[in-house]
Amino acid sequence: LNRLERRTGQHITVNKHETLYKSIEERLIDVEDEKRKIEVKLASAKELLKSQEEALKQRDEERRTMKSKLTTFELETRGKEAQIRHLNEVVKKLQSELDTAQIDIRTLREREEDWDLKKLHMDSKMPVDDGEARVKMLMASFDTERQNLNESLRKLSSELHISESKNADLKDDIDRLKRDLTKAERIEVELRRSLEEQTRIARECVQLKDQLNMVRSDLNNANNRKQQLESELMSVRSELRDQKQHLHDATNRVSDLQRQLQDANLNKNRLSDKINELERTISTQRNTESELRHQLSTAESERKTLLNELDDLRRRIAQFEADKRTSHDKVAELKRIRIALIKKVEILETEKRSAESVISETAAQREAIERSLSALERENKELCRNCAQLQQQIAQLELDNGNRLIALTNKQKEEHDRFVQSVKAEKLQVERIIENRDRSQKNRIKQLENQLSVLREQLNNERLRRRDATDRIYLSDMSKIGSSIFGMSKSGIASAGPTLYSQADSFDYAIGGQNAFSSSYYMAPSSDIYRSSSLSLKEPAETTHESYTTSYHTSGISGLVTQTGGMSSLLGESSSRYEPAVEVGDSG
């Protein structure tokens, strides 16, 4: 019975050891399979990195070409702005010359009226027989002065026509330069879009490099674990050999004991001692088996924690993609707002053109009135000639008929004076009407320009305020995301132990570095990524301004109120109010 107990105990221990060795070998095979899979993933990741590095090089070259193009476009815009300033100075000079010419025309007309009054006064005062020679002298001097004045008027009118033609040419040049500026701005917007895409791809490449470093660290940990398991397997195999040798020795001893059955009773105590020793060895082997099982359970728990951390990372990547989509939606809304503002600017420009057409119509009416005045002046000359003829006839009739004819001629002279005075009064009324219309048109143009400047200032202030608000919101979101990732790394990854997961700190460092890079990149408004150009609404002398904005959300835009009359156009005040897009994701 003792022999059977010994044999069964030895067989049980051997079977247990064999099952342990088989389980360890199966686990080693699984670890090798996992290692092969990780190596395949590493090779694919390396190929992806190579392709992305080539794409990055190409995009760097494209970025350099785009920067050179941007510099050329900026130089062209500066040259065109200088041309516009020069043209505006020329326009101002021509306007000042126009004003001086109009003042000269008025002074000449006043002098002509004074001469007419003096002539009538002299005609009424001078006697007929004594002052004919003096009247002729005065008429001759008056005619010479009138001819000189007419020549000066012709010169001034020719200068006016020349200045108007120059003004029209300058306006055409300004329109052409504005079109060139709009084309340059469109090209600049396209170049900025391509730059944004390249920066996005560069960030994705940095993320892929970080992931590849993580995979490499995992592979190194797996290799270390494999080496540990191989060393344990070698130790277990050596123990198994020892146990087999011990079993062989035991069988030899059993044969010796069968031969020495007679001495069995004498050696019973010694054999019982040996049985106790074997039981101790079995207990030690059981303890080693329990320790191995405990190590396996810890390895499985560590694997589960790793899988949970991978799931958390995937969820956060999905959240990042959702935030990215929301930012793209905000950019699209900003573009829509910009298009609406450009349409409003076009409406204002059309109304300005209509005002200019009204001014041209008033100028045409003024020319027609001047023509009618010249016709009236001709009639006045004919009447003066008739007066002279009548005076001669009066002189003859006075010799013939006496006082009756003198009374008739006095009546005719008074009627003629009344007619001349009525013509002069009408002339003054017409000139006053023209001056009032010119003043009203100039006042309306100034009002329109003031309203445009107010609108422009409001737009610039709102843009600056929205840019600051969106930068603050973006920085707060990035800081929250960075803090959440940092907290995850401290709580989840650090719990696995410093020996197995030494790459957790480097992962947190990579994400923190990316957060710092993005915050420093978005702090300066002059180097913002999301950049949009807006055409300035000032005089042609002023230049176009570029504004770099992030995503905005409009709360309300009030419309433009336009009121047009027969010869006037009035632009009402318009106010625009923007508020930053405060959503659930941002406010949290």
Q: Cβ(192)–Cβ(4) under 8 Å?
A: no
Please state, in angstroms and rounded to a whole number, the distance separating the CA atoms of residues 216 and 306: 15
Q: What pLDDT score does 53 carry?
A: 80
Q: What pLDDT score does 135 carry?
A: 64
Q: Cβ(137)–Cβ(82) under 8 Å?
A: no
Q: How crowded is residue 562: how many other Cβ atoms within 10 Å of its Cβ?
A: 15
Directed axis angle between helix 132-259 and helix 504-523, to 10°?
A: 180
- 116-136 burial: b if 16+ Cβ within 10 Å, else e: beebbeebeeeeeeeeeeebe
Q: Cβ(544)–Cβ(77) under 8 Å?
A: yes
Q: What is the 3-state secondary structure (H, E, C) of 66-102?
A: HHHHHHHHHHHHHHHHHHHHHHHHHHHHHHHHHHHHH
Burial class (CB in 10 A: 0-12, 13-18, 19+), 578: buried
Q: Cβ(521)–Cβ(527) under 8 Å?
A: yes
Q: How crowded is residue 217: how many other Cβ atoms within 10 Å of its Cβ?
A: 16
Q: What is the 3-state secondary structure (H, E, C) of 182-200?
A: HHHHHHHHHHHHHHHHHHH
Q: How crowded is residue 348: how many other Cβ atoms within 10 Å of its Cβ?
A: 19
How many secondary structure helices (H) and strands (E) does the chain include? 6, 6
Please state, in angstroms and rounded to a whole number, the distance separating the CA atoms of residues 265 and 76: 118
Q: What pLDDT score does 506 carry?
A: 37
DSSP string of 159-179, one letter each residue: HHHHHHHHHHHHHHHHHHHHH
Directed axis angle between helix 403-488 and helix 504-523, to 10°?
A: 170
Please state, in angstroms and rounded to a whole number, the distance separating the CA atoms of residues 290 and 270: 31
Q: Which of 550, 341, 584 is nearest to 466 (CA)?
A: 550
- 192-216 burial: b if 16+ Cβ within 10 Å, else e: beebeebeeebeebbeeebbbebee
Q: What pLDDT score does 400 carry?
A: 66
Q: What pLDDT score does 41 carry?
A: 80
pLDDT along the chain (588 residues), means of 10: 69 76 79 81 80 80 79 79 79 79 80 77 60 68 74 75 74 74 75 75 74 74 74 73 72 66 67 76 80 81 83 82 82 82 81 77 76 76 76 68 66 77 77 79 80 81 83 78 57 40 38 38 38 37 37 36 37 37 35
Q: Cβ(44)–Cβ(215) under 8 Å?
A: no
Name the pTM for this structure.
0.24
- Residue with structure tokens 């004003």? 99
The β-bridge partners of 557 are 576
Q: Three-class SS of residue 550?
A: coil
Q: How many residues does this entry show for the chain?
A: 588
Paired tokens of 211: 């992931």
Q: What pLDDT score does 485 carry?
A: 60
Distance of CA 17 to the CA centre of its chain: 72
Cα angle 354, 338, 448 (rounded to 5 degrees) comes to: 30
Q: Which of 441, 440, 444 is nearest to 570 (CA)?
A: 444
Could you give the C-alpha distances from 358 to 349, 355, 382, in angstroms and in order? 14, 5, 36
Please state, in angstroms and rounded to a whole number, the distance separating the CA atoms of residues 116 and 108: 12
